[in-house]
Structure 1
Amino acid sequence: MKLISWNVNGLRAIMKKNFMEAFHELDADFFCLQETKLQEGQIEMDLPGYYQYWNYAEKKGYSGTAIFTKHQPNHVFYGMNHDLHDQEGRLITLEYDSYYVVTCYTPNSQNELKRLDYRMQWETDFLAYLNTLKAEKSVILCGDLNVAHQTIDLKNWKTNQKNAGFTPQEREKFTVLLENGYIDTFRYFYPEVTGVYSWWSYRFNARRNNAGWRIDYFVVSEDLKPQLSDAKIWTEIMGSDHCPVELDVKL
């Protein structure tokens, strides 16, 4: 089973570039998107063989997630049933007989960390939500989690320790997630690999210089460890400031 996650930074914009080419080339069982930046009815996707699920932010042109899958779920859930967090279209959960697939676009703490307090509340509530799922069956979480966990997960870590995405608070929340029985699949397969990132700023020729961050993940519950096959980061696929990430797992 192949799963792809991609923050497209505006689906309508990337559709004018290479999205469909990449979509067909990757040929995933699950294709999960973050930051679609659209409302219902603003785009029509012709994807034969795929079921489509969308979650839209109330604010126009902001956030948003989608999942395209070849496998019809038993149930679909939007958000985490929490009024504080469910206005921005950040979460979709698909339920199957033995597992859940969750796509998430974690809130950014923003410049001057003005949304860090909210981000910390999100992290606490989201982990509680994930753990309720994990208590029932296996969990596959993917998305832009807006944190580089280790110093090897970004190019310039020394100068970014007070910046959104690499604060001690955000990194600690990711550590707590793993301590709750989850696996960062890329680091499971490649624990010491450096220089492989999933997001690059549009400024300062960051992508050309590979001055990036690894903030897009597949995280799975530990019971799936024997079924993991590989994790990939498709750094050569352009179109967004993020690139797609992949999980191969036997389900």
Structure 2
Amino acid sequence: MRIISFCADGIREAAKEGFYEWVLDQDADFICIQNLKAQEYDLQADTFWPQGYNPYFFDAVEKDSNGVAIYCKEMPKAIMTGLGFVDYDMEGRYIQADFQEISIGCLLAPSAYKADDAAKAHKKQFFELFQNHLNKVRNKRREFVICGNWNMTHSQADIQDIQLNRDMSGALPEEQQWMDQLFHELGYADAFREINTDSDEFTWWPDGDRSKNGWRTDHQIVSEGLRPVIEYGAIYKNQTFSSHAPLIMDYDYEMQS
């Protein structure tokens, strides 16, 4: 099972840069895209509805803001839009495809990078609610892969210049502690870090220059039962489609019909 996660910074702009031509060559089972900055009705061109995939979108109420999508080769049993967090669901932050024994989620967490206190409080409340949600669903008899831009790093190894960003949201000690709890108390795993511990692997360059100020904020977080089946992970950097690079993960997992 191959899953590709990508934060687009505007899917129409990423498409012009060749994202769909590249991603369709990767033979992924799932393509999870965040920050579409477009409504589904704006994406009627064939480019956004490739043959061989079942696409599902969840728009933000505010036009040209946020939005997530998931492309599935197999038809899911159900699609869940939102997390039941009313204010955040209006921002188009989460969509999930449910299958017999596994759910694939696509997440765009709130960002507070270089933002004011209100944005930081908004992000903090989201992750408090999300932690409760993840705690509840781990007791379900199914596996989870939650892909996306979490707008948060787990450790200093995930930031190229910690001195520059020490006080930035996404690198704060309390945020990294939240990730610690996710992994050590709730039992989830960072799929990429399970197989790659290099300290120079980044997925986001907020300044656009990939030679400096890299962050690893794009993750595929998996439930405990999937930890043993993580096979391969890579961050694709040969082409630039947005300020984020696509994350490719392979799992030795066979979908149940």
Give me the TM-score of the superposition, normalised by structure 1: 0.94
Deviation at 1:113, TM superposition (A): 4.3
Where structure 1 has 5 or more consecutive residues not aligned to the other structure, the ranges are none
C-alpha distance in 1 between matches for 2:26 and 2:182:
29
Tell me which of 67, 70, 75 is aligned to 2:73: 70
Letter aligned with residue 126 of structure 2: W
Q: CA deviation at 1:15?
A: 1.4
Distance 1:51 1:12 in 2: 19
Alignment partner, residue 123 of structure 1: 127
Q: How does 1:35-184 map to 2 (within 5 A)?
A: 35-44=35-44, 45-114=48-117, 115-136=119-140, 137-179=142-184, 180-184=186-190
Kept after mapping to 2: 8 A contact 1:182/1:219: yes
Alpha-carbon spacing, 1:112–1:63, altered in 2? closer, same or farther (3 Å):
closer
Post-superposition CA distance 1:198-225 (Å, at most 9, x none): 011235xx21x14311110011011112
Question: Which residue of the other structure, out of 208, 216, 219, is the alignment partner of 2:218?
Answer: 216
- CA shift, 1:131, in A, is 2.8
Relative to structure 2, which stretch is displaced further, 26-35 or 117-126? 117-126
Q: What CA distance in whole angstroms lies between the structure 1 residues aligned with 2:217 and 2:73?
A: 26
Partner of 1:187: 193
Q: What corresponds to 1:199 in structure 2?
A: 204
Q: 1:98 to 1:200 in 2, by over 3 A?
A: same
Pair 1:226–1:61, CA change in 2 (3 A): same
> Shift in Å at residue 246 of structure 1?
1.3
- Deviation above 2 Å: which 4+ runs of structure 1? 110-114, 130-134
In structure 2, C-alpha distance between the alignment counterparts of 1:63 and 1:7, rounded to whole Å: 10
Mapped to 2, the partners of 1:151 and 1:113 lie a distance apart of 23
Contact residue 100 and residue 133 of structure 1 kept, 8 A? no
RMSD: 1.4
Structure 1 residue 133: deviation in Å?
2.5
Where 2:136 maps in the other structure, the secondary structure is: helix
Distance 2:74 2:137 in 1: 19
Q: How many residues matched?
A: 247
1:148–1:214 CA contact under 8 A, matched in 2? yes
Which structure 2 residue ranges, 5 or more long, are not aligned? none
Alignment of 1:12-51 (within 5 A): 12-44=12-44, 45-51=48-54
Asked if the contact 2:10–2:37 (Cα under 8 Å) also holds between the matched residues in 1, the reply is: yes
Residue identity matched to 1:157: I
The residue type equivalent to 1:111 in the other structure is: K
SS in 1 for 2:183: helix
Q: C-alpha distance in 2, partners of 1:134/1:202? A: 36
How far apart in 1 are the matches of 2:163 and 2:213? 13
> How high is the TM-score relative to the length of structure 2?
0.92
Aligned to 1:5: 5
- The secondary structure found in structure 2 opposite 1:109 is coil
Please give the alpha-carbon distance, in whole angstroms, between the structure 1 residues aligned to 2:132 and 2:248: 25
Q: Secondary structure at the match of 1:177?
A: helix
Deviation, 1:159, is 2.1
